[in-house]
Structure 1
Amino acid sequence: MALNFHQLHIFYTVAERGSFSAAAQALHMTQPAVTMQVQSLEDYFGTKLLQRSTKRIELTEAGSALMPFAQRSIDLIRDTDSQMSKFTKQLKGRLQLGASLTIGEYILPRLLGPFGQEYPHITISMKVMNTAQIMEEILNHQLNFGLIEAPVNHPDMHMEAVMSDELRLIVSQSHPLAGLKEVELEDILAYPFVLREQGSGTRLVMEEQLKKKHINPADLKIVMELGSTGAVKSAVEAGIGISFVSESSVKHEVALGLIQTIPIRDVQFKRQFYSMYLKSALLPISAVTFLTFLRERDLQQWM
């Protein structure tokens, strides 16, 4: 019997998940099939790799020694897929992904067209949800991966920055700040703000940058909190307050003269968008190809 990657992947997933049943669910296999593959790997090495108990699977000394090699083999396969995806033009399949609100509503629609022209046989199904919902569906194997506005800390999730973005200060055409080429950060603090809800990626980035400038976000005059970027833009256009939104999300309104963006001296609200998927999962080549497209192309030409 020869050592093979499939067995290493199964072993790694069992160790990560802590049980054969959880690994079987993650790998879409039956529990007996998972058990058989791990036993075959133990037979190959001639030693026990996992200590079975009624509560949880634990690694033996040999299993602990094997884990980093199993992890490296998974990483190698992922890197191989990523490199080879650049040369694969006749891919077929269905790609299921989740995207947080700003990404799903304003960023990806402009990128799916160019991607579809290059890979016309890949069908994309996208759900626009909040980060918690995306993570839940990934854990339940309903989505291949997600694109989110801020990284989350979860032991089963892999995070990787794949796109850049920048928030801009927006004001209505009738606002006292309208027409200025630049403002000081202190100058905007006296005005009412309309912001995304607490916990949104946009709100987190804004608050982090304010703290770096020694400004307490709690001191802002927040008159309204809204659950979508579209609602925030409408409130700003109506003169209810000023706000920060993704630069990509407001280009239409700026072009129509409904809203203005104003630079803030010596302050930039830059951020990264992240891909999120299970550490133990091997993404389908269609998903790897899409993520490679996001990482390596000049996306600004389409934004």
Structure 2
Amino acid sequence: MTLRHMKIYVAVFQHSNITRAAEELHLAQPSVSLAVKELEEYYGVRLFERRGRRILPTEAGREFYGYALHIASLFDEMETRIKNWDRIGTLRIGTSITIGTHILPELLHRFQEQFPEVRTEAEINNSSLIERRVLDNAIDVGLIENQPEHEDICAVPFMRDELAAILPPGHALGRQKKVTLEQLAEYPFLMREKGSAGREILDAAFALRQQAVHPVMESVSTQAIVRGVAEGLGVAVLPYLLVRRAIREGAVIQVSLAEPMERNLNIIYHKSKYLTGNMNTFIELCKQYGEETDHE
């Protein structure tokens, strides 16, 4: 049996008339009658009783209609969804904590204005886990703060960010125009957790200087670290995107690093990933956002 048989049967059942069903389907009446006959012969049951110009379903016919309607409707739904996937599908996005907190909400707002019927699913975690999720095809597009390590991942920079040294108000180093990491390391240090992009950059910078730093506080929460610095627990080096508000409000003070530490924020996806139209649109929105931020 074919899908054509199912659609013809549904039309005949709904109209109780071969002629009207043929008109709806734009088929010749004999073709519709033949399809119904073929169904009855195939299943070995009578599906309709003929009464004058009307045909009425038998008990078997009513049972068969439920299946035929479901099959035909499911096929139509599949056709609609797949042909319009870029308009009504799902976009799975994963971001690092920094990007998810400060950039993703604006990106999602812009994307949903263009694709209101596309469902977006967002996962926020540290960069290494987002990279793993891209490799596992658990997300379509990732936004992370470092360069991916795996060769199967493509990375496209979309904006730049810098690491900022922050101190408690009134700190001794606050009177200097610039400070070195060595100077900062002389004070209690507050750091993000291992595995976060900012922590990896900072650890690498200290390793190059053959300097070991044992933080007095580690946290997945940047706000907890900022609050700790504001309360005088120590100093920190964090992404500027995460601390600019606290700096503007005067909760902490920023001192320029003698050797600036900048990094690219990257769009990542698997090299074998087929990028749909809505994925490409999201990637372009990320690039536009980065260009706007660079010009601020």
Pairing partner for 2:90 from 88, 94, 98: 94
Say how many residue pairs are matched.
Answer: 210
**Pairs within 5 Å for 1:1-303:** 93-117=89-113, 122-211=118-207, 214-218=208-212, 220-265=213-258, 267-297=259-289, 298-300=291-293
Quote the Cα distance in structure 1 between the aligned partners of 2:150 and 2:294: 34
Quote the Cα distance in structure 1 between the aligned partners of 2:269 and 2:227: 33
How far did residue 257 of structure 1 move? 1.2
| 3-state SS in 2 of match to 1:248 | helix
Tell me the TM-score normalized by structure 1.
Answer: 0.61
The 8 Å contact of residues 191 and 221 in structure 1, kept in 2 or not, is answered as: no
The 8 Å contact of residues 131 and 148 in structure 2, kept in 1 or not, is answered as: no
How far did residue 124 of structure 1 move? 3.1
- Identity within the alignment, %: 29
Quote the Cα distance in structure 1 between the aligned partners of 2:206 and 2:231: 25
How far did residue 154 of structure 1 move? 2.3
Q: Structure 2: any 5+ residue segments left out of the alignment?
A: 1-85
Q: Show CA shifts across 1:181-224 (max 9, x none).
A: 4334443231111111223210122233445xx52241x35212
How far did residue 282 of structure 1 move? 0.7
How far did residue 93 of structure 1 move? 4.5
Tell me the TM-score normalized by structure 2.
Answer: 0.62
How far did residue 91 of structure 1 move? 5.6
The 8 Å contact of residues 144 and 266 in structure 2, kept in 1 or not, is answered as: yes
Look at both structures and tell me which one has the larger radius of gyration over its CA atoms: 2
How far did residue 276 of structure 1 move? 2.1
| 3-state SS in 2 of match to 1:162 | strand
Amino acid at match of 1:279: K
Quote the Cα distance in structure 2 between the aligned partners of 1:92 and 1:129: 26
Q: Show CA shifts across 1:7-52 (max 9, x none).
A: xxxxxxxxxxxxxxxxxxxxxxxxxxxxxxxxxxxxxxxxxxxxxx
The 8 Å contact of residues 128 and 195 in structure 2, kept in 1 or not, is answered as: no
Q: 1:109 to 1:260 in 2, by over 3 A?
A: farther
How far did residue 122 of structure 1 move? 4.7
Amino acid at match of 1:216: Q
Q: 1:119 to 1:180 in 2, by over 3 A?
A: farther
The 8 Å contact of residues 126 and 197 in structure 2, kept in 1 or not, is answered as: no
The 8 Å contact of residues 92 and 286 in structure 1, kept in 2 or not, is answered as: no
Q: Show CA shifts across 1:239-289 (max 9, x none).
A: 111111111111221122111111022x11100122222211112211111
How far did residue 138 of structure 1 move? 3.0
| 3-state SS in 1 of match to 2:149 | coil
The 8 Å contact of residues 159 and 294 in structure 2, kept in 1 or not, is answered as: no
Amino acid at match of 1:300: T
Q: 1:92 to 1:180 in 2, by over 3 A?
A: farther
The 8 Å contact of residues 183 and 262 in structure 1, kept in 2 or not, is answered as: yes
How far did residue 112 of structure 1 move? 3.6
| 3-state SS in 2 of match to 1:177 | helix
| 3-state SS in 2 of match to 1:159 | strand
How far did residue 121 of structure 1 move? 5.3
Quote the Cα distance in structure 1 between the aligned partners of 2:91 and 2:248: 33
Quote the Cα distance in structure 2 between the aligned partners of 1:302 and 1:104: 21
Aligned CA-pair RMSD: 2.7
Q: Show CA shifts across 1:30-83 (max 9, x none).
A: xxxxxxxxxxxxxxxxxxxxxxxxxxxxxxxxxxxxxxxxxxxxxxxxxxxxxx
| 3-state SS in 2 of match to 1:160 | strand
Q: 1:275 to 1:173 in 2, by over 3 A?
A: same
